Chain A
Amino acid sequence: MLGVEGLAGPLGRAALLVGLIGAFFGMIAAVTGTRNEDEKVLRLVPRFATLSCVAAISAFAAMEWAMITRDFSLAYVQKVGSKSTPALYNFTAVWSALEGSILLWVLILTCLTAGIVFKYRTRIADPMVGWAVATMFFVGIFFFILTLGPANPFAAGASGVLDGPGPNPLLQNHILVVFHPPILYLGYVGMTVPFAFAIGALITGRVGEGWLVETRRWALFSWGFLTLGIILGSWWSYEVLGWSGVWAWDPVENASFIPWLTGTAYIHSVLVQERRGMLRVWNLSLLVSTFSLTILGTFLTRSGVLNSVHAFSDSNIGPYLLSFFAIIVVVSVALIGWRGQKLHSPGTIDSPLSREGAFLANNVIFSVFAFVVLLGTVFPLIIEALQNRQLVVGEPFFDKLAVPVGLTLLFLMCIAPVLPWRKASGELLANRLFWPAWGGIGALALSVGVGATGFAPLLTFALGGFAGGAALRQLVLATRRQGLRGLLGRANGGMVVHIGVILIAVALAASNSYTHSQEMMLKQGVVATFNGHTFELTGFTTESDARRTVVAAVVRVDGGKSYTPAITKFKSMGTNIGTPSVKSSFVEDIYLTVEPPIKVSSKTVKIKVFIKPMVMWLWIGGGLMGIGTLLSAFPGRRRKPTDATSAPVPTGAVS
């Protein structure tokens, strides 16, 4: 007979099996009910969605229960659990490795599926909704199969194990482990919803703009969560890894960035389809790409084919993910091909110098950027396959190509917000761009005035000022007309997002170009100086418990507050993890790390100091992107059907 401590495994496995059955019959009900227009069968769909969702919640709860009670009968708990892990990190240990991550994916996906079914419960007989729900169930089935097969979190472990090593030390060192993975997954998994509706639209042949309207908020929220997840990941990296950077072009980082790029292209180009009825195939392709790239990224980073400091796994899940990726791509391409005639757009773009022309250029740049990042990420695999030799593609490669791409995007952000739909005249552009351009000149003059150097960073500051001026101009005009309500809607909320992006670009340019570092041997009581700052070692602190020993150097900075860069030794793994300490301000961060080994008795310590300008603006920019996304989700001022949709066109100028 099983004891309480052994119950989580069977309960979890049973819950996953029930969830799989629920998703399977949900899909069957959605498909047969939709095909036969049988409302009686369709009424079963919400029940199966609820069953699947409750089962996934139960499985997740069982896993948490197993982790909290240290149920070492499970292989997963043996791998990431430990008696000495604090409660918070024990809770987050559930998603600290592959099996738990896939379980989290299942949880979010089934909840989203149930949410969609609930939202559309009165329209479940609509074939597009039916097929969309069937698609979501299909994706759910795949992930349930993963949790019951190659990524089973409830697999029985070896007998006799009484303790485990706990999660990777990097995953028990900062509070962001609570937020970053679930938020990123909300972004990844959320992309299933617009993808499912796109499939529904293709199957039913209703490929007009209806499905876009149904899914635009879902796409926006998913994009927003993906953005927030990426920003939080960068912050985490900055606070934990000790090399003072926020982005290393690591394969796992790239796996989240590539769908973000295609998703960003989509939320721009979808406006062209809504307004002009154009780019239908392109938008469907972007959506399919975004969703399939989340699967490809998961394959690249979870299968072990690419190594990454963030991967935290090596498994046999690869063939499953690759097959699923292939199915998605083949089915989507076949459906797009099948509906080719209906996808023919009725409209045309009159001029490249128009809002839709700028969106097209934006889409080309984002797509090329996504291709560059994907190519750089998989290129080592290609070389290994072709020539059986190892190659690493790293940060300098991506930086070299990302800088011109980023500058081009900034330039587009200067021009696009002031462009009218259909066509712009030179006079109109000169009029609308005048003050934003002075904003750019002001930013450039200020940068040169404070001593900034280098072509790329100076151009970034100039374009940042220009683009910021263009975004502010739009917001000022909108709020002048409508008060604070002028901040709502996609056009205006989007400008808040633009300001966030500009702040991030400027902060990255400044911190990457003007960081100075110095290694210093500090002796207790002796003040050292670097870059106009003073550093004094005032002592050491040592904390020790069953899990780890933390030795921190207490360093007084500029004669004021003390900071404590530390080395943490995790006893079960014998791993030393450096923990930086950062003095942040709006102007610059002083980032301190301590170099091992620390010899407290010698009253000296070797520290490394990084002076990094403007880093705080990166986080402020990220926050603005989040706020802008929220503002975009609220409906702005509705356009009257009789409102003009084109720029003033001089008589006789139209051709």
Chain B
Amino acid sequence: MKYLKSWPVWMLMGLIVVALLTVGTTRDNGPLTQSDRIDSITKHIACPTCDGESVYVSRASAAEAIRNQVARDVSAGTLTDDEIIGSIANTFKAKVLLVPRATGVDSLVWILPIAVLVCSIAGLWAAFRRWRRDNSGEASSDDVALVEKLLAEDPTDEDNV
């Protein structure tokens, strides 16, 4: 059992994961229907007359009009998804985009989460450093013996370890 869980087996597991992920991510997704494409595009566009809903979700007439416009563009087959979204955004100005731009003040919505994450990780790192510095006590041989004795009495008890 000890050899079964040794590092070469873990390496093998890692290789299997990489191989499976490679197969899964590089093969063809299969055909998308026109409706799939329309759904995907309209999920990125806000209904201009609704309460924060996307064109995909909304059943309002303005959303219906944009959905029809997207359907026509998809049927024509000349524009990419981004170009279709861009043309709708040009018509209605940026306020129909559900994803804020990464420029100007709008970029704050992207930058702040990353900044908060970085600060949190830095704070955690600093806390662990401080704790490590403060935790200078060493377990005595009596302590270690006590722990081993108690664990030996019930080695399967993991609630407490």
Which residues of A are at the interface with B, using a C-beta cutoff of 8 A? Answer: 241-243, 245, 248, 250-251, 306-309, 311, 348-350, 352, 357, 360-361, 364, 367-368, 371-372, 375-376, 379, 382-383, 386-387, 389-397, 400-401, 420-421, 430-431, 434, 437-438, 440-441, 444-445, 447-448, 451-455, 458-459, 462, 474, 477-478, 480-481, 491, 515-519, 576, 578, 608, 636-637, 639, 642-649, 651, 654-655
Q: Is the CB of B57 within 8 A of A241?
A: yes
The one of A248, A350, A639 in contact with B53, judged by C-beta atoms closer than 8 angstroms, is A248
Q: Which residues of B contact A375 (CB under 8 A)?
A: 109, 112-113
Q: Is the CB of A372 within 8 A of B151?
A: no
Q: List 24 A-B contacts (CB under 8 A).
A: A243-B57, A307-B52, A349-B127, A349-B128, A357-B128, A360-B124, A371-B116, A375-B109, A375-B112, A386-B105, A394-B99, A395-B54, A430-B7, A434-B5, A441-B17, A445-B16, A453-B24, A454-B25, A455-B21, A458-B25, A478-B159, A491-B159, A643-B150, A644-B147
Main secondary structure of the interface of B (DSSP, over half): helix
Q: Is the CB of B158 within 8 A of A453?
A: no
Given that A307-B51, A651-B144, A654-B139 are known contacts, is A396 also in contact with B43, CB under 8 Å in the complex?
yes
Minimum Cβ distance to chain A for residue B141 (Å): 7
Given that A437-B13, A644-B161 are known contacts, is A400 also in contact with B27, CB under 8 Å in the complex?
no
Q: Is the CB of B52 within 8 A of A397?
A: no
Minimum Cβ distance to chain A for residue B129 (Å): 11
Q: Is the CB of B100 within 8 A of A391?
A: yes
Q: Number of B interface residues at 8 Å Cβ cutoff, please give it.
A: 72
Instruction: Specify which of A383, A386, A394, A396 lies most central, judged by the most chain B CB atoms within 10 Å of its CB.
Output: A394
Which residues of B are at the interface with A, using a C-beta cutoff of 8 A? Answer: 4-7, 9-10, 13, 16-17, 20-21, 23-25, 27-30, 32-33, 35-36, 39, 43-44, 46, 50-54, 56-57, 59, 94-100, 105-106, 108-109, 112-113, 116-117, 120-121, 124, 127-128, 131-132, 134-135, 138-139, 141, 144, 147-148, 150-151, 156-161
Instruction: Specify which of B7, B94, B99 lies most central, judged by the most chain A CB atoms within 10 Å of its CB.
Output: B99
Q: Which residues of A contact B28 (CB under 8 A)?
A: 453
Q: Is the CB of A518 within 8 A of B54?
A: no
Q: How many Å lie between the Cα of A397 and that of B54 in the bound state?
A: 12
Q: How many Å lie between the Cα of A231 and that of B61 in the bound state?
A: 30
Q: Is the CB of B51 within 8 A of A430?
A: no
Q: Is the CB of A645 within 8 A of B160?
A: yes
Q: Is the CB of B105 within 8 A of A648?
A: no
Cβ-closest chain A residue relative to B159: A491
Q: Which residues of B contact A648 (CB under 8 A)?
A: 147-148, 151, 161
Q: Is the CB of B100 within 8 A of A379?
A: yes
Q: Is the CB of B57 within 8 A of A516?
A: no
Q: How many Å lie between the Cα of A518 and that of B37 in the bound state?
A: 10
Q: Is the CB of A311 within 8 A of B21?
A: no
Q: Which residues of B contact A364 (CB under 8 A)?
A: 117, 120-121, 124
The one of B121, B138, B150 in contact with A644, judged by C-beta atoms closer than 8 angstroms, is B150
Minimum Cβ distance to chain A for residue B58 (Å): 8
Q: How many Å lie between the Cα of A445 and that of B17 in the bound state?
A: 8
Given that A478-B159, A518-B33 are known contacts, is A387 also in contact with B98, CB under 8 Å in the complex?
no
19 extra interface residue pairs, beta carbon distance < 8 Å, beyond A307-B52, A364-B121: A243-B56, A307-B51, A309-B57, A382-B108, A391-B94, A392-B52, A392-B96, A392-B98, A396-B98, A397-B109, A430-B7, A441-B20, A448-B20, A453-B25, A453-B29, A491-B159, A517-B36, A519-B35, A649-B147
